[in-house]
Structure formats: structure tokens, C-alpha cells
Structure 1
Amino acid sequence: MAPPSPSKQLVLAASSVDAGVAAWDLRTGAEDIRLRPCASRPRALASVAGRFLAAAQAPSAGGNSGPIHFFHWEKPQVAVKSFPADPIRALIADDEGSYLIGGASNGSIFLWEVSSGELLHTWRAHYRAVRCLALYDYLLVSGSEDGSIKVWDLITVLDEQSRLEAQTPYLYSFSQHALPVTDIACFLGAIAVSSSEDRTCKIWSLSEGRMLRSISFPTSIDCVALDPRSHIFYAGGRDGKIYVTAMGVDFSSHDCDESSILGALDDHSKAVTSLASSTDGLLLVSGSEDGNVRVWDTRSQQVTRKFKHSQGPVTNVLIVAPKRVKLPPLQPLRKVCSANGEVNSTTVILPRPENDTPIPGNKTSVFMENFLEKLQKHGCSSMLFDSGLNAQNGAPNQQGAEWRGRYLELQDLFVHEVLDQIPSSRDQ
């Protein structure tokens, strides 16, 4: 089968049973390729910058290990198999495809460098399994089976000196969900939406470290997707409905906040397990336990395409534009860190998602990007914000502390500009 063209967009779907990863052409609806074998749980499928696909496998019945499969677009077979120390429940890659981050069944998080397969760092993040991960800029957000959400500063995570100086290993910890967290999505880098089995979605300020709103639903919510054009998100329910929800309406203490739920998309017979929005927000893809995949026109709220994946449940859907690039041989992911268990990273992770929607009149985010690009051009590494001793003369690195302070001030200013534009029916 011919490899996909660079401009082609594919709808990908995976199941928790070994039915492979199915791919359909978003424009024509024709099935493109089926990658086998693959049996992945929700949030365990990740496109690595469109260059290849990574899929964490669910452990077999009675087993306690699950490999990670790498697939090339031009071959239906597994290109590389890796065997992490613990089964990976959630998987995510940064937009540049430099790093792969996995949340494990025992609550740990693993961070690998893709090019070398090197395990840069691993740490115990939660008491129970990590169910979902979201990444924007230098922030990693993890949601767990234990109901908690934690926000991690990846600059601190990758820098040993910063970790030693930090009061807590995480930036923020939230425990307002009463049951397992099922999904997390980030909006404009400063706001996150989480879903839970407790029938709520909660909206968080990642800069201020607080919950902004909580919205109740008539059913448990298994997945969320954001509309990049507006302050609307989609929530996939266990009742088979996709709830169209306003982010800027305050919550009600009752079982269902009807003022926040603007409507519902209804074409699945079982629970909606996964959602994916196109970068322009005009299309929404849904996967369900009924084994079906739907493509929705968000303007008309009608189904434009229907795909049947398999007899088993669909657990993951993605919209991917595959890139035909000559890849160096993919390296298996390491089980343990090299040397003494620590690796001095030489890179600052600052992903910039393609679905970032500029705010009219907002200059702060542009200034932040230009500021950081200048810093990186001067050869800054993960010690960019190091406030320890200067390596040359033993003096405190005041410039590093000053840069970190300026960066955080800019981030706070950006968040306030975003929040000021979110409508609310009443004050907090």
C-alpha cells in the first residue's frame, strides 16, 4: 500500500482489543492502512510530530507488562518494540517529536528522548495509575486513578539542581475530583479542562494554581476536546452523548448545570471514549465503545462520515497529518536512566501546539516567544533558570534567577489577559 501523501489527513482509531490501528482518509473516507498489532487503553496512542505513531499496549490477561509499539506510516507492521519497566497507561509526545512521556499503572511518569531512546527522568507522580497527560509549553499536567491532578514544571523536572531547590516536586496539586480523572486538555497554555468519573468537568488556571469552575453532567465523562476557535469544549459521556459545553459559565451545585451545557451531539449507542478536534475547530472526531467512529461538522452539528473500526470498543481517536520524512533508525526506549540514574538534559522543552489560537490584541504571548528564542540562541540549556552557583567563579547565578522571574511574570500576565476575555454569568 502506498504511503500517505504529506498533505493527507488521517483519522486514526485504536481499540483495547487487538484490532490494530485503523486509518481513514479524512477527505475521501477511504481506509488507508491498518497498523498491527495494537491493543491500547484510552489516552495511550500518540502521534510523534506526525513522523510516526507510538502506542502503549494494554497488558495481556494475567500479565503485568505492556510494550510500546512504534509504527512507520509506510509499513503496517511494528517497526520497534520497547518494554518499559512498568506498563504505560497514558502516552503523549511534544509537538516537535523530541520527547515521549508515559504515565504508568503504578503512578510513575517516564520521560524519554525519542532520538536516542534515553530515559531522561522517571518519578513517582501519583499513588495510583496515571490515566491521562496534557502538555503545553513547559507544563505537564497529569491526571490519576486516585482523583488527583498535578502540574509539573518540566524545566525543574529535568534539572537536578532545580529539583533539589524546589519545595515540592510538582508545581501544583489539585484534589477536587472525587473519582478517577479520565482526560485533560489544555487551552491557550494557561487553562486546563479535566473530566472525571464523578460526573464533572473542572476548569483550572495553571498559572494561578486554582480551580476556576466546575460543571456537572448527567453522566460520567470519559473524554474532553477543546474548540480552538472559542471558549467551548466537548465532553464525551458514558450515555453515548457528546455535550457541547461553555467554559465561561459558573457552576451549579445541582446534579446538572443546564446553563453550561449548550447542547449534545447524539449518534453513538454506547459510551464516548475519545474525542479529537481539528486544528481549525471545524471537525470533531469521536470514538465509542460501540466500535464506531464519527466525524462531526461542528457548525451544523451533523455527522459527515461514519467509520466502523471493529467489534471491540474504540479507545483512542486522533487526527494526524502524516509526514513523509526519512527517519533515522528508531531506538528502543530505555528501561532505566543511564549512569547514576540522572541525565543532564541539554534541551529546554518548550512545545508550541499548532492549535494555539492567538487572542486579538494580545501581545504578551508573542513577546514571551521572542524572549525565549533570544535566550536559547545564547546557548542556554536546561540550566537556563539555574539559581545555583556560577560554574566559573562560584558566585550565585543572579542572571538565571532574574530570567526565571521575568518568564514567570510574563506567564502570569498572559493568563490574566486570557481570563479577562472569558465570559461568566456571575462573579466567582
Structure 2
Amino acid sequence: MAPPSQQLVFAASSTDAGVAAWDLRTGAEAIRHRPCASRPRALVAVADRFLAAAQAPAGNSAPIYYYHWDKPQVAVKSFPTEPIRALIADPEGSYLIGGGVSGDIFFWEVATGELLVRWHAHYRDVRCLALYDLLLVSGSEDGSIKVWDLITMLDELARSEAKTPYLYSFNQHALPVTDIACFHGAIAVSSSEDRTCKIWNLSEGRMIRSISFPAIIDSIELDPRSHIFYAGGRDGKIYVTAMGVDVTSQGSGDSSILGALDDHSKGVTSLASSTDGLLLVSGSEDGSVRVWDTRTQQVTRKFKHSQGPVTNVLIVTPKRVNLPPLQPLRKVCAANGEVEPQAVILPDPENDVHIAEYRSSNLLERCLDSLQQHGNSSLFDSGASTLNGMPNQLGTEWRSKYLELQDLFVHQVLGQTPSSMDT
């Protein structure tokens, strides 16, 4: 019998204490990657093949570091044109997306290190990013949230012809957006320093409800098993919150908050859930990491990272793939005509691991091929059916059925009737 895969908890800090990793089963520290000093939302596991961490600015330098699972030192350093505040990868690990301090969004291809596109998204720092299939959701220091169709953003002609580069722009948060998470059915949840979490319908471009909290919420994590989410507060509590209670009509958020997990002495900065939803990991400004059993709501393990605050936590089952040697940093032309050093990671098709049940990069490739043939790029446009080789009439019918199913899903998740959705 093959040994079970090792499941690790990773935690990073804004101080240069490295990325610590603990074995979730034994509690032993597995490895510590150094150096690393990352702000919240800046650490990502790229398809469970390696770690990427955007560094907090130190002098004139703010690189992105890549780490192998079994080597403590930095494997590759990249140097974007500006500090990257938020960093995510698509589930297949084909792309890295970064949010910069200028409000720009950067879209890199992992295999080549090439910067495919860069665009100005917000007036201030991009603090958080989330993906739902081919939709990118960004939240900013300026309090705004924007939804981007990646097909459009990767097509220069479509960008130039679009009335606005984004699909939707939300401005209901009064203060900076701190985190965003996406749920099945094109539902997103955002948190803000205005002490609210807001639920959005991404396919229709509207806010469904707003939930108030006793403290500022800095992090959110969705429960994959049910229609609840966890909200990490600056008061050290993790609020267990239901999506499906219509608090707007009741004027209070109390009925949505089902309970609270309370074991941190300072603010909860980051949350991560296991794929089965049975474990929740929390990181805090008190420098500690907690592992929670979500069924009993009890702490099962406690880890100490460092004297500094924990800013990022991940639950990862590392894939021990034989990546080819990392190529040295190379320079490519940036949009402003200057040269920019970037990293190159070349995947080995024979040794790479296929991520089942998710084909975002394959779909994106088909979409881009179709754009070249048909010149259509809007994800929610009726003509998007040509991406699957169907005529426009069938595409219109497909889109109608899709929206009907999506709308039904939203009703079920949020416990609404169609009439209440319009209030």
C-alpha cells in the first residue's frame, strides 16, 4: 500500500521569519523556507507543485520568490516592476495573477514567465484577488470591487472595443476591501474595514445582501460542505456566518452570525479550509496558527510561527513532481518599453500532475483560439457559444439555460424566493 500523502500547514509572516510548514497529522515542523516576509493574500501554492510568495517592500526591492517543497532556500526570484500586494494562481498552476500597489493587475504565464497582459484596475492598492472559472474578482484599498472577464482582458481588440474593461464595478463598501472568496454558482463574498461582508451575484452583477459584524473582518473562508463562511475579525474571533439569512430586511447581522471560534489573542488575519471542510486553519497577529475541527468547533493543534504576525496560512498536500531545473531569470519587454526580469518555470509533461475536474487553462486556450477565428470575447455575451463551436442561436439558448440554473442555485444557497431576490 502506498503511504498517505503528507498534508502540510504553511504559514508566512510580514516579518522575515520565513514560511513555516507543519505536518498536519503529527504536528511536527516539516521545513522552514527562508527568507520570506509577505503581506496578507500574498502566499500561494501553485497547483500544489511549488510555493510562490510576493515579498513586502524592503528598500527598493519587492521580489516574488518561488520555493520547492523539500528545499529551504529560495529557488527562483522574480522582480516585477512594482511591489505585488496580492498573488493568486489558477487551480492548474498555469498562470499567476498579481495585484500591484499602483492598482495594476499583472497576468503571468507560469511556463514561460511571460507577462501576458497588465492593466490598470483600481485607483489604489489591489489588496485581494479571487477566481471563479474565467472571472477574476479584485478588491482594492479604494473600497471598490471589480469583476473582470479574462477572455476579454487577454484579447487586445476586445479590450479596445469594450465600453469598460471590467464586467462589473461594485462600490458599496465604504472602506478598503480586505478579502474576497468565490463560491459555486458565481457567488462571491467580500470583507471590508467597514465591518461588513457583502454577498454578490457575479453573473448578474449585483449585491445580494450585506452582513454587519462587531469587528473589522480581515479574512474570509468558505465552507465547501455547506452555505456558510468563516469571517476572521480583528477582535480575535472567527465568526461562523450563514449566507442564507436575509439580514437586510431585519436590520441586524445577528441572525446571520451562527457562532464564533475564539482562541486567538489578537486579530485573525488569514483562514484556510481543507477540501472536505472538516478542518479550518487560522493565522493571527499574535503569531500563532490554530487548526480547528469544524464539527466540534474545537482547536486540535496549535503552532507558533514567530514573534511577528502571521499573515498567510495554507493547507497543502504537496505534489512531489519532478520539475525540470528552474531556468535563470530572463528579461522581457514590459508595456512601457523597459526590460523586466522574470522567472521561468518549464513544466515537464511526463512528470507533471494532472489536476482532475478543472480545466481552466484548457478552456482558456480554446477560448483564445475561438477569438482568433470568430472575434468574439465576452464571457456572458450570447455569442460566447462560438467558443464551443455552436452557432449563435444555440449559444443564446445555452446562455439562457445557464442563467436559469445559476439563478436557481442562488435561490437555494441563500434561502430566497424569486420575489425576495428583487427586493
Aligned to 2:236: 240
Q: How does 1:376-391 map to 2 (within 5 A)?
A: 380=369, 383=372, 386-387=375-376
Aligned to 2:170: 174
1:22 maps onto 2:20 in alignment: yes
Q: Which amino acid aligns with 1:47?
A: A
1:48 maps onto 2:37 in alignment: no
Q: 1:126 aligns with which of 122, 125, 129?
A: 122
The answer to whether the 8 A contact 1:218-1:255 is kept is no
Separation in 2, partners of 1:397, 1:186? 22
Q: 1:76 aligns with which of 69, 72, 75?
A: 72
The answer to whether the 8 A contact 1:54-1:68 is kept is yes
Secondary structure at 1:326 match in 2: coil
Separation in 1, partners of 2:169, 2:317? 34
Separation in 1, partners of 2:364, 2:150? 17
Residue 169 of structure 1 deviates from its aligned partner by 0.3
Aligned to 1:307: 303
Q: Which amino acid aligns with 1:20?
A: G
Q: How does 1:376-415 map to 2 (within 5 A)?
A: 380=369, 383=372, 386-387=375-376, 399=386, 402=392, 405=396, 408-409=399-400, 411-415=402-406
Residue 384 of structure 1 deviates from its aligned partner by 6.8
The answer to whether the 8 A contact 1:64-1:87 is kept is no
Pair 1:374–1:17, CA change in 2 (3 A): closer
Q: 1:12 aligns with which of 10, 20, 31?
A: 10
Secondary structure at 1:422 match in 2: helix
Pair 1:87–1:330, CA change in 2 (3 A): same
1:161 maps onto 2:157 in alignment: yes
Separation in 2, partners of 1:134, 1:194? 10
Q: 1:107 aligns with which of 97, 103, 127?
A: 103
1:200 maps onto 2:196 in alignment: yes
The answer to whether the 8 A contact 2:185-2:410 is kept is no
**Residue-by-residue CA offset, 1:191-224 (whole Å, 9 max, x unaligned):** 0000000000000000000000100001100000
Residue 64 of structure 1 deviates from its aligned partner by 4.3
Separation in 1, partners of 2:368, 2:166? 27
The answer to whether the 8 A contact 1:159-1:383 is kept is no
Q: TM-score, normalised on structure 1?
A: 0.84
Q: Which amino acid aligns with 1:307?
A: F
Aligned to 2:282: 286
Aligned-pair Cα RMSD in Å: 3.1
Separation in 1, partners of 2:363, 2:210? 39
The answer to whether the 8 A contact 1:108-1:123 is kept is yes
Residue 238 of structure 1 deviates from its aligned partner by 0.4
Secondary structure at 1:421 match in 2: helix
Secondary structure at 2:142 match in 1: coil
**Residue-by-residue CA offset, 1:303-328 (whole Å, 9 max, x unaligned):** 00000000000000001111111112
Q: 1:268 aligns with which of 264, 268, 293?
A: 264
The range that moved more, 247-256 or 312-321, is 247-256
Aligned to 1:34: 32
Separation in 2, partners of 1:375, 1:293? 37
Aligned to 1:116: 112
Pairs aligned (count)? 392
| Structure 1: gaps spanning 5 or more residues | 342-351, 357-368, 389-395
Residue 413 of structure 1 deviates from its aligned partner by 3.0
Residue 425 of structure 1 deviates from its aligned partner by 7.3
Q: TM-score, normalised on structure 2?
A: 0.85
Pair 1:156–1:379, CA change in 2 (3 A): closer
Residue 336 of structure 1 deviates from its aligned partner by 4.3
Q: Which amino acid aligns with 2:125?
A: A
Q: Which amino acid aligns with 1:10?
A: L
1:150 maps onto 2:146 in alignment: yes
Separation in 1, partners of 2:143, 2:65? 28
Separation in 2, partners of 1:70, 1:130? 21
Q: Which amino acid aligns with 1:160?
A: E
The answer to whether the 8 A contact 1:106-1:129 is kept is yes
Q: How does 1:333-348 map to 2 (within 5 A)?
A: 336-337=333-334
Pair 1:376–1:97, CA change in 2 (3 A): closer
Separation in 1, partners of 2:47, 2:182? 18
Separation in 1, partners of 2:89, 2:5? 21
The answer to whether the 8 A contact 1:68-1:84 is kept is yes
Pair 1:374–1:108, CA change in 2 (3 A): closer
Aligned to 1:86: 82
Q: Which amino acid aligns with 1:139?
A: L
Q: Which amino acid aligns with 1:197?
A: E
**Residue-by-residue CA offset, 1:69-99 (whole Å, 9 max, x unaligned):** 0001121000000110010000000000000
Secondary structure at 2:271 match in 1: strand
Separation in 2, partners of 1:285, 1:125? 31
| Structure 2: gaps spanning 5 or more residues | 339-353, 378-382
Residue 136 of structure 1 deviates from its aligned partner by 1.6
Separation in 2, partners of 1:318, 1:188? 20
Separation in 1, partners of 2:223, 2:82? 34
Percent identity (aligned)? 69
